[in-house]
Amino acid sequence: MRFWLTTLLVLVIDQLSKLWIVNNFAPGESRVIWNKVLWLTYVQNQGAAFGILQGHSWLFFLCAILVMIILVVINSKQRLPVTMQVIFGLIMAGAIGNLLDRLRLNYVVDFFDLGWWPVFNIADMAIVCGAILLVIKLLWDEKGEHRASE
């Protein structure tokens, strides 16, 4: 249940934020949010997260579909702990959010600009945070299993 709630919540926030950017910014337009730290810059990204592999949309489409299928299968076949449901929900929401952009627009709407890092969006953050939390969870669980077996 938390898998789908997390997916829906993050997906709605992602899509509403992108809609707001598209309706209030011209492509390439940038506004300072926090001086020398954060800008909102409307970028039409045809690459992957953080702008890598520009122009390979078909590859990202296939990867997103594969990831979504795997997450749904794992979530439906196993009774996952709440933390894993939330982690998988973050990754699922990010994959769906950017996939919807690609299907609708042929590019992904990016807008968070740190000035020193490629421009990104909430879906990118959800995928990255989900992946980092997954690694931490897996390492944490493995560490606990080693302690229990000693």
Domain ranges in the chain are 2-141
Give me the mean pLDDT over the 26-35 stretch: 94
Active site residues: 110, 124
pLDDT of residue 76: 86
Q: Average pLDDT in the 9-23 region?
A: 98
C-alpha span between 56 and 42 (Å, rounded): 20
Query: Is pLDDT larger for residue 115 or for residue 143?
Result: 115
Q: What is the mean pLDDT of residues 105-111?
A: 94
Give 3-state DSSP helix, strand, coil % of the chain, rounded to 5: 65, 15, 20
Exposure on the CB side of residue 131, measured as CA atoms within 13 A: 10
pLDDT of 52 reads: 61
Asked whether residue 147 carries a pLDDT value surpassing 60, the answer given is: no
CB-count exposure of residue 55 (10 Å: 0-12, 13-18, 19+): exposed
Which residues lie closer than 8 Å to 144 by C-beta, 6 or more apart?
Answer: none
Q: Could you read off the pLDDT of 36-63 as tens digits, one per residue?
A: 899 999 999 887 655 566 666 677 778 8
pLDDT at 148: 47
Task: Flag whether pLDDT at 9 surpasses 80.
Answer: yes
Compute the mean pLDDT over every residue in the chain, rounded to the nearest whole number.
88
Per the listing, tokens 């000035």 go with 115
Mean pLDDT in residue range 5-9: 97
What is the arithmetic mean of pLDDT over 105-118?
93
Name the one residue in this structure whose structure tokens are 């954060």.
Answer: 38
